[in-house]
């Protein structure tokens, strides 16, 4: 198994599998957050279920965190590997003639997304961990608020224009990252023959997902 991860093909396949997992998570995360636009009560109920369900908290959440870390670490390793390969063949080939700008700059969009994830953790995940595991409060309630607290916390985070701007910029980088990463992931697992169809699906996914998150941020900022 260790030999698999050391090989170029093994690293690309594992990178692709982690990408599939994270793309499914993005779709699920967008679906739940979009509920906040249509129904505060529904969003609160679903968020409370996800936040207190033991399977989600103690099985799926650690897997998600591992998937995020693994994807970024493997991405940096592959980028170093590709950089060395480009340096060797630089005199023979024009890299820009055979690849897109996005494919050559995935590392930078990845770094921007990683910075956003850190901000997102500071905004939502760290306070949640503090509330549940340090303070021991799994009720999901907030003093002075009827029902659960999740909607109130979400709206509060998007009150400041600077934070909204940071989220919008981050989702633009996410879209650029997905525009290449979606098709690349399928190619890595042997679906190159479907390239044309995958490019269309990938383009739609890389536009719809970021726009959905941007819409949510702007909606709550403008309607707080």
Query: How much is the pLDDT for 82?
Result: 74
Which conformational region is residue 183 in: left (phi greater than 0), alpha (psi within -120 to 50 degrees), or beta? alpha
Query: How much is the pLDDT for 77?
Result: 86
Distance CA 91, CA 198 (A): 33
| Interacting residues of 165 by C-beta distance below 8 A, sequence separation 6+ | none
CATH number of the structural domain spanning residue 218: 1.20.1300.10
Query: How much is the pLDDT for 57?
Result: 94
Query: How much is the pLDDT for 98?
Result: 54
pLDDT digits (tens, 9 = 90+) for 181-205: 888 888 887 776 777 778 889 899 9
Are the C-beta atoms of 179 and 206 separated by less than 8 Å? Answer: yes
Handedness of CA 30, 32, 36, 37 (dihedral sign): positive
Q: Residue 159 burial (CB < 10 Å; 0-12/13-18/19+)?
A: exposed
Give the number of domains in the chain: 1
What pTM, to 2 d.p., does this model score?
0.87
Per-residue pLDDT tens digits of the chain, which is 224 residues long: 555 556 778 888 898 899 999 999 999 999 999 999 999 999 999 999 999 999 999 999 999 999 999 999 988 888 888 777 766 655 455 555 556 666 777 788 888 999 999 999 999 999 999 999 999 999 999 888 888 999 999 999 999 999 999 999 999 999 999 988 888 888 887 776 777 778 889 899 999 999 999 999 999 999 97
Q: What share of the chain is helix, strand, coil (3-state, %, to 5)?
A: 85, 5, 15
Q: Residue 21 burial (CB < 10 Å; 0-12/13-18/19+)?
A: middle
Q: What number of helices (H) and strands (E) belong to the chain?
A: 12, 2
Query: How much is the pLDDT for 132?
Result: 94
Q: Determine the structural domain holding residue 60 and report its residue range.
A: 2-222
H or E stretch at 141: strand 141-142
């Amino acid at each position: 198994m260790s030999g698999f991860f050391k090989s170029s093909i093994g690293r690309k396949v594992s990178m692709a599998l982690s990408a599939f997992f994270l793309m499914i998570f993005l779709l699920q995360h967008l679906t739940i957050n979009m509920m906040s636009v249509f129904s505060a009560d529904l969003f609160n109920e679903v968020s409370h279920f996800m936040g207190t369900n033991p399977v989600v908290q103690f099985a799926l959440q650690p897997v998600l965190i591992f998937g995020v870390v693994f994807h970024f670490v493997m991405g940096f390793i592959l980028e170093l590997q590709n950089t060395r390969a480009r340096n060797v063949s630089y005199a023979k080939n024009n890299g820009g003639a055979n690849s897109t700008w996005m494919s050559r700059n995935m590392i930078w969009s990845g770094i921007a997304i990683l910075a956003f994830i850190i901000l997102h953790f500071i905004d939502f995940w760290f306070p949640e961990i503090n509330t549940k595991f340090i303070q021991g409060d799994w009720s999901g309630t907030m003093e002075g608020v009827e029902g659960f607290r999740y909607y109130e916390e979400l709206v509060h985070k998007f009150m400041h224009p600077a934070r909204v701007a940071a989220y919008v910029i981050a989702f633009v980088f996410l879209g650029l990252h997905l525009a290449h990463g979606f098709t690349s992931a399928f190619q890595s697992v042997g679906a190159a023959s479907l390239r044309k169809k995958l490019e269309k699906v990938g383009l739609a996914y890389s536009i719809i997902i970021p726009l959905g998150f941007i819409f949510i941020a702007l909606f709550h900022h403008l309607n707080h």
